[in-house]
Structure 1
Amino acid sequence: MTNNWIENLKYDTQGLIPAIAQDWQDGTILMMAWMNRQALECTVATGEVHYWSRSRQELWHKGATSGHIQKLKHLYYDCDRDVILVKIEQIGAIACHTGARSCFFTEVPLNL
């Protein structure tokens, strides 16, 4: 299988594309991070998710230091080819750097 699809994605001016990590079994959105071509290639090659750290300006193997790795189960891109969805098995049950399972734990109160 060739990785031509990686070249055909729409990256921003820094060469990045947003990536949403979703639990492959229950559908929980766990986090959003950024990927570049190298992160996508490493993810596909290893079966473990890699991102691009904008703050450190380096490739980031999710869980390499914490042990909370993300095993790739499925990978999709959207109809505009400008967002990645990785369906993953979260090892260690913690995806957020705060120690929470998901980065999306703050609900905005709405008056509907």
Structure 2
Amino acid sequence: MVSPSIFLQMEQGKLGQSYDFATVIEAIPWNQNGLITAIAQDIHTKDVLMLAWVNRDALVETLTTKQVCYWSRSHQRLWRKGESSGHRQQLIEARLDCDGDSILFLVEQTGAACHTYRPTCFYIGLANKQVTILTEPML
């Protein structure tokens, strides 16, 4: 395993400075199941669409094809967003957080992001002693 010190080095990085892709991917602190969290955000509206998981294969596929691919923990397989629904996410940009344990996908969303056909998975509002549905399905 590569030391996560690459992330410490990048803290001191200058604008536009580059690092070796393989070194950074190897230094990601994948969890015991080989996963990290991935947040999808709409590039235009800035809405947070969903949170899911990626493994190394899903991340490389996403970066290569520009179609977002996740790891389905329930089905134990790669999950190509929209493969059955047609509600796809085209990758515009990918970013790692400062310590490499979460990734942000900036995407163009086609259709609903949520399996409930809502535009975002974050449609349940929480307030003091109140829970409210915030969006309608996109039927």
If the length of structure 2 is used for normalisation, what is the TM-score?
0.75
| Runs (5+) with no aligned partner, structure 2 | 1-19, 130-139
Query: Aligned with 2:75: secondary structure?
Result: coil
Q: How does 1:64-83 map to 2 (within 5 A)?
A: 64-83=83-102
Please report how far the alpha carbon of residue 3 of structure 1 lies from its aligned counterpart in structure 2 after TM superposition.
Answer: 3.6
Which of 65, 68, 74 does residue 46 from structure 1 map onto?
65
Q: CA contact under 8 A between 1:6 and 1:40: conserved in structure 2?
A: no
Separation in structure 2 between the aligned mates of residue 74 and residue 110 of structure 1, nearest angstrom: 36
Please report how far the alpha carbon of residue 9 of structure 1 lies from its aligned counterpart in structure 2 after TM superposition.
Answer: 1.1
Identify the structure with bigger relative contact order (alpha carbons < 8 Å, sequence gap 6+): 1
If the length of structure 1 is used for normalisation, what is the TM-score?
0.93
Separation in structure 2 between the aligned mates of residue 6 and residue 65 of structure 1, nearest angstrom: 29
Return the structure number with greater helix share.
2
| Runs (5+) with no aligned partner, structure 1 | none
Aligned residues: 110
Query: Aligned with 2:107: secondary structure?
Result: strand
**After the TM superposition, which segments of 4 or more aligned residues of structure 1 sit over 3 Å from their partners?**
none
Please report how far the alpha carbon of residue 110 of structure 1 lies from its aligned counterpart in structure 2 after TM superposition.
Answer: 2.6
Q: Cα RMSD over matched residues?
A: 1.5
* AA in 2 matched with 1:16: L
Please report how far the alpha carbon of residue 8 of structure 1 lies from its aligned counterpart in structure 2 after TM superposition.
Answer: 1.9
Separation in structure 1 between the aligned mates of residue 30 and residue 119 of structure 2, nearest angstrom: 28
Query: Aligned with 1:108: secondary structure?
Result: strand
